[in-house]
A and B are shown apart, each in its own frame.
Chain A
């Protein structure tokens, strides 16, 4: 017993000692791009393909071109487990290594980093998630959330519904159900939904799914069966999505009237339902499949060489993998712009922020990147608009894979933008004193 206790004491002392000594490893030469990812925890199912896509595209740039503009990218993942506390810890850890951009990949972590970004001079890319109001570049010069906000997403879904119904005024008197992850993420679209309900005269029914009940939704879907909504809209994440699709199939809800946002459309979401899930719709921002030249290059330079963490090759090119690639394309393009604007090879966070404000990916540029028609052209990001409100399309599950079923749908910017600006004002009012924007706008943007 005594020896054991001695060992234990020594161990405790050693951990403490190491805690003080554990300093982050010294930085090497290059552009430091940290990726906050989650391959563990309850949301790993959604997190893993995204992490792979982000990581592999940047690695491919390193392998194929030696980085961006001659500067090597130092890619480092930090595991957050979708936990805000660990996310903040990750941020503190990477902060000292001068990252040029941070991708939090969680709305909760994004919210915590928003006030810090301006102080630490690190731009934050929250691609189509995070705080919708941060699209207002005049208030949030350091936060970027292209290509579209959740409110844009909801308006696109309504455009699609209007299309199918033959006009949004046909919704009068009908019921539309909204099933959502009960947290900040799922609650964000509600103000716009309520406004639509007023504008078009339908009843909006809300079906919140608490985090602990993600896989236990049968009671909720009974409510859906009683209320018989004409359309169901879903803002789900992680294990909630596949369960919801299965439950919808179970109550014989017509799945082609069930529409998810772009975070509810991964292959893992629909696959468990299999053929029962046929017809389920989801918005998407990026192309599908691995046939794009750039993704073939990822295969050649990264996956075949064993530098990727994907567990099988056929997972390359799944929807969320491609989403991760999209995220990395945005990062890479911003870095490239920053190099172009400043003429420097090794850019800093401040430079990349300017790079983001000059973000332009035309159709021709997408082709040049090896991703023809991969996504809607990014042409509306500017100094004051950090989102751009770009288009998305509708995809449908055919029982085994996703199929594109609509053209690019543009959001109703006229409905979304006023809400956004109001929300940004509200944010500032609640966070007084909020620093006014001091960063000048570049001429080109």
Chain B
């Protein structure tokens, strides 16, 4: 009854093409944003903000990046971790070379480094497809990981081989480094992620998004109707890597605070791929849901026995957590192979006709 579209007429094409054509959706998203910006910062504990909200948002951004590539353009990549690393190291170089520049500038600029590297490693996609491409992108992952360890210039010749985030302020408030509070960092991350999601949403609803989807559905057919494949595919790699790069820069600068090369190893790539697939290929909402599930579930499973008073030692909890996460991944795939986003759509459909079944 609440979720009715009856009476909402569209009189222009713009209105019909809107991302949220329904009034209820617009209200819903406004409420969610209001809660995220105004309510959460003042109520959530440091632990929740730091260990859950910030990483969930950052990884959601990386997942959106991969989703643009895999879900929209149909190119599987296992190199996301490496591209995130390029963003992080690029940002570090920029931030240390130009310390007076506002830190948000290098964070966003670092995405361009990542995009450039992404295009180079996206070149094989013109020849190879499917799992062959997935394994080929692993080459970029391993090569980039190797570079992060081996090129001392990237870490400014730091003896310990790590990048450490200096304190930087924004209008006098520290937003990076140890003195930045969890809440400030959360707000910065949230603002960036929301803005970039909005951008992505416009991208996939426009001409470029449609080209990607045509290539995904069948690239030869797409070529026949006049889409230039190499441009479209490389653009997908560039945009996807841009998102991954910004996510990587935020991961180090606004969450971890310091990082070694192993933060961007193959496991990071797999993690993001999980999020995309569990969340739903070709859905921006799915990227968020996947990130919430993949990052949130282990934390919940870890803290659950403790808060319920079950005496289990930490190693057993970890083993059980691995088993449960593994089993749940399989279960989710069996029950809904199209991801959490699809579940949400089914729910919405039900809500529309509620209380009548048809």
Chain A interface (Cβ within 8 Å of chain B)? 4-5, 7-9, 12, 15-16, 18-25, 37, 39-40, 76-79, 81, 84-85, 88-89, 92-93, 95-96, 107-108, 111-112, 114-116, 118-119, 131-133, 182-184, 187-188, 190-191, 208, 210-212, 309, 423, 426-427, 430-433
Contacts and interface: CB of A to CB of B under 8 A. Distances in A.
A116 B315 contact: no
Interface in B69-91: none
B343 interface: yes
Given A8-B335, A9-B343, A19-B299, A84 B263 contact: yes
Contacts of A212: 142, 266
Given A22-B304, A23-B47, A430-B158, 5 more contacts: A19-B296, A77-B313, A96-B46, A107-B260, A119-B178
8 contacts: A8-B335, A8-B343, A19-B299, A24-B47, A78-B314, A92-B47, A95-B47, A191-B159
A108 B318 contact: no
Contacts of B161: 183-184, 187-188
A88 B179 CA distance: 16
A88 B164 CA distance: 14
Contact of B313 (A107, A309, A423): A309
Contact of A5 (B165, B263, B293, B343): B343
B299 A183 contact: no
A422 to B, nearest CB: 10
Interface string B236-278: 0000000000000000000111111111011000000000000
Most chain A beta carbons < 10 A, residue from B255, B256, B309, B331: B256
Given A8-B335, A93-B47, A430-B164, A39 B256 contact: no
A24 B265 contact: no
B300 A22 contact: yes
Contacts of B46: 92, 95-96
B102 interface: no
B195 interface: no
B179 A119 contact: yes
Given A9-B343, A39-B315, A22 B160 contact: no
B48 interface: yes
B293 A430 contact: no
B315 A40 contact: yes
Contacts of A118: 178
A426 to B, nearest CB: 8
Q: Which 5 A-B pairs have the closest CB atoms?
A: A39-B315, A115-B178, A184-B161, A22-B303, A79-B314
A131 B300 contact: no
A430 B157 CA distance: 11
B130 interface: no
Contacts of B51: 88-89, 92-93
Given A15-B297, A23-B307, A184 B162 contact: yes
B24 interface: no
Interface in B204-238: none
B326 to A, nearest CB: 14
B296 A433 contact: no
A37 B317 CA distance: 13
Interface string B146-168: 10011000001011111011110
B202 interface: no
Contact of A25 (B179, B258, B309, B332): B309
A22 B307 contact: yes
Contacts of A5: 335-336, 343, 346
Nearest to B169: A433
Contact of B306 (A25, A184, A430): A25
A184 B260 contact: yes
B314 A112 contact: no
B124 interface: no
Interface of B: 45-48, 50-52, 55, 96, 99, 142, 145-146, 149-150, 156, 158-162, 164-167, 177-179, 255-263, 265-266, 289, 292-293, 296-297, 299-300, 302-304, 306-307, 309, 313-315, 317-319, 322, 331-332, 335-336, 340, 343, 346-347
B91 to A, nearest CB: 15
A187 B159 CA distance: 7
B155 to A, nearest CB: 9
A188 B162 contact: no
A112 B255 CA distance: 10
B45 to A, nearest CB: 7
Nearest to B156: A430
Contacts of B99: 432
A382 B314 CA distance: 35
A92 B159 contact: no
Given A15-B293, A19-B296, A39-B315, A431 B166 contact: yes
Contacts of B48: 20
Given A40-B315, A211-B262, A115 B257 contact: yes
Contacts of A37: 314-315
A131 B160 contact: yes
Contacts of B302: 79
Nearest to B301: A15
Contacts of A20: 48
A115 B307 contact: no
Contacts of A133: 159
A7 B307 CA distance: 24
B307 A25 contact: yes
B300 A19 contact: yes
A96 B146 CA distance: 37
Given A108-B260, A111-B260, A188 B347 contact: no
Most chain B beta carbons < 10 A, residue from A12, A76, A116, A423: A12
Contact of B160 (A7, A23, A24, A107): A107
Contacts of B45: 23, 96
Nearest to B157: A426
Contacts of A114: 258
A116 B142 CA distance: 31
Contact of B314 (A77, A182, A423): A77
A183 B260 contact: yes
A187 B154 CA distance: 15
Nearest to B346: A5
Contacts of B266: 212
Given A8-B336, A187-B161, A430-B96, A115 B293 contact: no
A309 B315 contact: yes
A378 to B, nearest CB: 24
A15 B336 contact: no
A59 to B, nearest CB: 12
Contacts of A81: 318
Contact of B343 (A12, A89, A112, A131): A12
Contacts of A76: 314
Contacts of A432: 99, 166-167
A4 B333 CA distance: 12
A39 B320 CA distance: 13
Given A22-B303, A93-B47, A212-B142, A183 B178 contact: no
Nearest to B344: A9
B137 to A, nearest CB: 16
A133 B160 CA distance: 10
A112 B258 contact: yes
